[in-house]
Chains A and B, each alone.
Chain A
Amino acid sequence: MDRRIFLKGLGALGCSAAAHPLLTTVSLAEGSSVLGDNRLVVIILRGAMDGLDVLQPRGDAGLLAARPRVLSPGTDLDGFFALNENLSGLMPLWQAGELAFVHATSTPYRDKRSHFDGQDLLEAGTGADLVPAAQRDGWLNRLLQALPGVGSETAWAVGRQVMPILTGPALARNWAPDQDLAVSDPARALLERVYSNDPLFYAASATAFDLAGLEDVEGKDIDLIASFVAERLRGSSRIAAFSIAGWDTHRAQIGSIRRPLDRLQRAVLQLRDEAGTAVWGKTVVMAMTEFGRTVRENGSLGTDHGTGGMMLVAGGAVRGGKVYGAWPGLDGASLYDRRDLMPTSDVRDWAAQAMAALFGLDRGLLEGTVFPGLKMEAAPGLIL
């Protein structure tokens, strides 16, 4: 932990750091020995990413028929699928076996195709039988609840967007790296003295003063977030979640999908670069979305809300260089509701498989508590 700012504050106050009665308690709580040494990062792609344009099934004749105008240029991956050119920066990961995809996957959410409900269900991790408003906590929070003794530093929700996936009774930290702390050095020193009488305020402010020191990182918001997450993963944190929005490409999709894809690519690359080889080797990043988009392009050069989607999985702990999931086909009879990609797997199944492999969790916990009602049946092997 960087105590630079904190010490500077005390110095400005002119009192001796060693004499401060609470100084020794100012440290982030121990991370998790319960979870072991592996790391899981979940990125929620808000707005419904068009899996068909990101991981393009060019080997399926139905693709060009349904998408004569709405298909970005792509680079071949395996003779059947091609990768959207806006993610070409991830090709080295694919070649190194650190990047995989799951196609035609979705939550159990069907038919109403509302972003809000779809995201609620994705983050609650429950089946379609529970209406979203009845779901109180997110699946990553339930994972923490099931593991007594995890440290308060174990899990982070990062960014300004509320992350229901980590919300619930178990303690998960949250921080928006662009949260500034508009306080002068002398005022900060005075506040430290004022807070020293109240342990709750003292602990919260010490972390805040510490984290706000990261502000001078260069770059866009997503770089700040990824960089912040990487730093936590190098430390004692094991779980992090953040979101990338902007996927609701109803019109002029080829242009409008560039920006979110760029953000996704930057996030993955930054996580890899800043986590360092050893930590990256123990990390899995899963980027998932609430549902896919229509197979057929619409009248405004975009696509509308669909069903089956796609998940991107990256990290040194991934068995990559492969597209997972059964391909359902794009002919009319194979589609869901004759319009959407048919889901052939449950997105929760892959997340459960990853958590089982990374954290040694047993099936009963995953199927009973983390994802109540899930039946794990996806082919194993996604995680090394």
Chain B
Amino acid sequence: MQQEILAIRFGYGLPAAATDPDQMLAALSGPDLAATRWPGPDQASIAAAFHDFQQARRAKDDVAKKAAQVAALALATESAKASFARAIGSEESFRERLVAFWADHFTTTARNPMNKPLTGLMVDQAIRPNVAGRFADLLRAATTHPAMLVYLNQDVSIGPGSPTGRRQNRGLNENLARELLELHTLGVGAAYSQADVRQLAKLLTGLTVEPGAGMIFDPKRAEPGAETVLGVAYNGEGINPILEFLEDIAARPETARHIAFKLAVHFVSDDPDPDLVETLAATFRDSGGDLSTLAKVLLAHPAAAMTKQKKARQPQDFLVAGLRALGIGPEVIFNANGRSFGRIITTPLAAMGQPFRSARGPNGWPEAEADWITPQGLAARISWAMRVPQRLVNPLPDPRAFLQSALGGLAGKDLTWAVSAAETARDGVGIVLASPEFNRR
């Protein structure tokens, strides 16, 4: 039963290729096979759509503008399909769960159609390559990615004393600076002040995006002089002081604690064992923020193997686990037309309260079980459980066998009884998928 728990808590449930900690960790050190097998749109095609849009805008050609927007939305859908195909198809479920965790930690969403493909691009370029590396590398990649720079308004932040700032009478936008401290590193309770936010905002000036080129450092926007953040002065030319700062902040003990707490809450319990948090924080500090060491300690801690399932699977997690349990191959999703992808994934996700890549704010999705198991959210899960499987699997499996393969020893007595009492296979399979046992982890 302990192995089943691990596969559910740290993966996408049963059946699972890897169920013991060593197997799960071994997969992390290998190459990212899933990203290769189910690729998302690349930077060139996203840049091409941008280019078309800008040309159309300059030419005031509404038809071409619309076409570029449609192309961008299609790229975003392609990226969404790849994301689900990887989660469903990969044998390295723990890696996929870590990707989802860090993508949420560094949440970005798009405010217009042209930016929609950027979130997925950031996951591919900044998150996936770094989930088993150093936190400092992940932080640098995420902070400087165009998706983040646009989402948190760094692209409109200009040093008021810089040449561009003086000429255009424009100034700072503190958004990225504030979230970098509050959400991405130290955490909201840590000892930093508004003056630190302000200084960091000045330090970050120069960092911006150029359509087609991605992130650039524009010295004409950079505030001149040194900035002092958390008591450390950063000075020098170009992007280097910013990179030094990111390296420093990644090594702060407050950052270690914040990341430790978030990992424990996301993977184990809304109210995590203090020893788990402390152990993770110490590991973060001692290993220099090495995320694979952190993963190893997380999986080995006794709290990770407790049998009580204290978390609710978030809707994305629920859909992936459901499709995997039903034996739906990743190609079904990867090659789905827009309409069936919507029917199987995106429309139900929104009804369950988690519209894809559309978290309300940079703090990402809520963790608490009560935020997900609401009347509306549960009704949508029940409806999906009762309706979607029969569309995808013909014939449906025997519900009793399905219960065994999806939950193993975790099925409660009442669930086992109810599944055998169901009058149709549709009801039986639906009851398994709608059960608390299946919706918890």
A-B contact count (CB 8 A): 122
Q: For B377, what are the chain A residues with a Cβ–Cβ distance below 8 Å? A: 204
Contact at B378–A208, with CB atoms within 8 Å? yes
Contact at A183–B111, with CB atoms within 8 Å? no
Q: For B189, what are the chain A residues with a Cβ–Cβ distance below 8 Å? A: none
Q: Does A333 contact B (CB under 8 A)?
A: no
Chain B's closest residue to A190 (CB) is: B418
Contact at A204–B173, with CB atoms within 8 Å? no
Q: For A190, what are the chain B residues with a Cβ–Cβ distance below 8 Å? A: 418, 421-422, 427, 431
Contact at B418–A194, with CB atoms within 8 Å? yes
Looking at B36-44, B81-89, B128-136, B368-376, the stretch in contact with chain A turns out to be B368-376
The binding surface of chain B is classed by DSSP as helix
Of B369, B370, B376, B386, chain A has the most CB atoms within 10 Å of the CB of B376
Q: Does B265 contact A (CB under 8 A)?
A: no
Shortest beta-carbon distance from B180 to chain A in Å: 12
Cβ contacts B385-422/A at 8 Å (1 or 0 each): 01100000000000000000000000010110110011
Q: A180-B383, A186-B427, A205-B382 are in contact. List 16 more A-B contacts (CB 8 A).
A: A116-B111, A133-B175, A133-B361, A136-B361, A167-B360, A174-B374, A179-B379, A183-B383, A184-B427, A186-B422, A187-B427, A190-B418, A194-B415, A194-B431, A208-B376, A208-B382
A79–B379 CA distance with the chains assembled, in angstroms: 51
Q: For A135, what are the chain B residues with a Cβ–Cβ distance below 8 Å? A: 361
Q: For A174, what are the chain B residues with a Cβ–Cβ distance below 8 Å? A: 374, 376
A209–B135 CA distance with the chains assembled, in angstroms: 45
Shortest beta-carbon distance from A334 to chain B in Å: 26
Q: Does B165 contact A (CB under 8 A)?
A: no
A244–B414 CA distance with the chains assembled, in angstroms: 43
A sample of 23 inter-chain contacts (CB < 8 A) reads A131-B174, A133-B151, A133-B152, A171-B370, A175-B375, A176-B376, A179-B383, A182-B383, A182-B386, A183-B430, A184-B423, A184-B427, A187-B422, A187-B430, A193-B417, A193-B418, A194-B412, A198-B440, A200-B436, A204-B373, A204-B375, A205-B375, A212-B379
Q: Which residues 323-382 of B have a CB within 8 angstroms of A? A: 350-351, 355, 360-363, 369-370, 373-380, 382
Q: For A167, what are the chain B residues with a Cβ–Cβ distance below 8 Å? A: 360
Shortest beta-carbon distance from A178 to chain B in Å: 10
Q: Does A65 contact B (CB under 8 A)?
A: no
Shortest beta-carbon distance from B424 to chain A in Å: 8
Q: For B375, what are the chain A residues with a Cβ–Cβ distance below 8 Å? A: 173, 175, 204-205, 207-208, 211
Contact at A204–B378, with CB atoms within 8 Å? yes
Contact at A198–B436, with CB atoms within 8 Å? yes
Contact at B431–A134, with CB atoms within 8 Å? no
Q: For A205, what are the chain B residues with a Cβ–Cβ distance below 8 Å? A: 375, 378, 382
Q: Does B273 contact A (CB under 8 A)?
A: no
Cβ contacts A198-218/B at 8 Å (1 or 0 each): 101100110110011000000
Q: Does B293 contact A (CB under 8 A)?
A: no
Known: A196-B414, A201-B439. A162 touches B379 (CB 8 A): no
Q: Does B139 contact A (CB under 8 A)?
A: no
Q: Does A195 contact B (CB under 8 A)?
A: yes
Contact at A131–B175, with CB atoms within 8 Å? yes
Of A164, A190, A201, chain B has the most CB atoms within 10 Å of the CB of A190
Shortest beta-carbon distance from B361 to chain A in Å: 6
A39–B112 CA distance with the chains assembled, in angstroms: 36
Shortest beta-carbon distance from B160 to chain A in Å: 16
Q: Does A298 contact B (CB under 8 A)?
A: no
A204–B352 CA distance with the chains assembled, in angstroms: 13
Shortest beta-carbon distance from A29 to chain B in Å: 12
A176–B175 CA distance with the chains assembled, in angstroms: 33
A191–B379 CA distance with the chains assembled, in angstroms: 12
Q: Does A181 contact B (CB under 8 A)?
A: yes
A197–B421 CA distance with the chains assembled, in angstroms: 17
A320–B59 CA distance with the chains assembled, in angstroms: 49
Contact at B178–A197, with CB atoms within 8 Å? no
A135–B178 CA distance with the chains assembled, in angstroms: 12
Interface residues of A toward B: which range? 35 or more
Among the listed B174, B361, B423, B436, which residue makes an inter-chain contact with A194, where contact means beta carbons less than 8 Å apart? B436
Q: Does A160 contact B (CB under 8 A)?
A: yes
Chain A's closest residue to B347 (CB) is: A160
Q: For B112, what are the chain A residues with a Cβ–Cβ distance below 8 Å? A: 114, 116
Cβ contacts A220-256/B at 8 Å (1 or 0 each): 0000000000000000000000000000000000000
Known: A133-B362, A136-B363, A186-B423. A195 touches B436 (CB 8 A): yes
Known: A133-B361, A179-B376. A200 touches B430 (CB 8 A): no
Q: For A212, what are the chain B residues with a Cβ–Cβ distance below 8 Å? A: 379
Q: Does B138 contact A (CB under 8 A)?
A: no
Q: For B369, what are the chain A residues with a Cβ–Cβ distance below 8 Å? A: 200
Q: Does B54 contact A (CB under 8 A)?
A: no
A162–B376 CA distance with the chains assembled, in angstroms: 12
Q: For B418, what are the chain A residues with a Cβ–Cβ distance below 8 Å? A: 190-191, 193-194
Q: Does B278 contact A (CB under 8 A)?
A: no
Q: For B153, what are the chain A residues with a Cβ–Cβ distance below 8 Å? A: 131, 133
Contact at A197–B370, with CB atoms within 8 Å? no
Shortest beta-carbon distance from A180 to chain B in Å: 6
Q: Does B218 contact A (CB under 8 A)?
A: no
A171–B380 CA distance with the chains assembled, in angstroms: 19
A133–B147 CA distance with the chains assembled, in angstroms: 14
Known: A116-B111, A198-B436, A201-B436. A187 touches B378 (CB 8 A): no
A160–B355 CA distance with the chains assembled, in angstroms: 11
A195–B439 CA distance with the chains assembled, in angstroms: 11
Q: Which residues 99-148 of B have a CB within 8 angstroms of A? A: 111-112
Among the listed A117, A164, A186, A194, which residue makes an inter-chain contact with B435, where contact means beta carbons less than 8 Å apart? A194
Contact at A173–B383, with CB atoms within 8 Å? no
A198–B422 CA distance with the chains assembled, in angstroms: 20
Known: A191-B434, A207-B375, A208-B375. A162 touches B355 (CB 8 A): yes
Chain A's closest residue to B420 (CB) is: A190
Q: Does B179 contact A (CB under 8 A)?
A: yes
A193–B418 CA distance with the chains assembled, in angstroms: 8
A23–B436 CA distance with the chains assembled, in angstroms: 18
A208–B243 CA distance with the chains assembled, in angstroms: 50
Known: A116-B112, A182-B386. A173 touches B374 (CB 8 A): yes
Q: For B415, what are the chain A residues with a Cβ–Cβ distance below 8 Å? A: 194
Q: Which residues 64-79 of A have a CB within 8 angstroms of B? A: none
Q: For B422, what are the chain A residues with a Cβ–Cβ distance below 8 Å? A: 186-187, 190
Contact at A134–B378, with CB atoms within 8 Å? no
A211–B382 CA distance with the chains assembled, in angstroms: 14
Contact at A181–B374, with CB atoms within 8 Å? no
